[in-house]
Amino acid sequence: MSAEPLLRRPIARYRGGGRVAACPFTKDVVADTLGTHPVPRRRIAGKHIRAVRHSTVPVRGYRSGPYVLAIAPEHAEVSTYDWSNHDRGDDIDAPWVPVAAHFEEGREAAVIVPTKEVDL
């Protein structure tokens, strides 16, 4: 397993009448359960990198070999904080926040991390 995970998005496969997460490259169904997986701070993009407290940040998703398959905020079944009306010092009680991240294929997209891991 690679020392630094590669950040990707999972794809959906259909098994037994339902959608399941799969690796976008191998097309294999992800066997691991949904959890938080540490990715290097340098994978966090733009203004969000300054908010990350540690050298790694736990990102919500699946682990599949060298990949962390990160869940987008819109696909998460968890409560996330809405940044659209953010004022510094807001009392934020949502357990998750979306932050921008650099994905392996060269784009930036949102991932969700525990609120306690970032300074708002």
Q: Which helix (H) or strand (E) holds 20?
A: strand 18-22
Residue 20 CB coordination number (10 Å): 14
Whether the pTM exceeds 0.85: the reply is: no
Are 46 and 109 in contact, with CB atoms under 8 Å apart? no
Question: Residue 1 has what pLDDT?
Answer: 44
Question: Residue 110 has what pLDDT?
Answer: 93
10 Å CB burial of residue 49 (0-12, 13-18, 19+) is middle
- What is the full per-residue pLDDT of the chain (120 aa) written as tens digits? 446 889 999 999 998 888 889 999 889 999 778 899 999 999 999 888 888 989 999 999 999 889 999 998 888 888 777 766 666 666 677 889 899 999 998 899 999 999 889 887
Question: Residue 85 has what pLDDT?
Answer: 66
Are 64 and 26 in contact, with CB atoms under 8 Å apart? yes
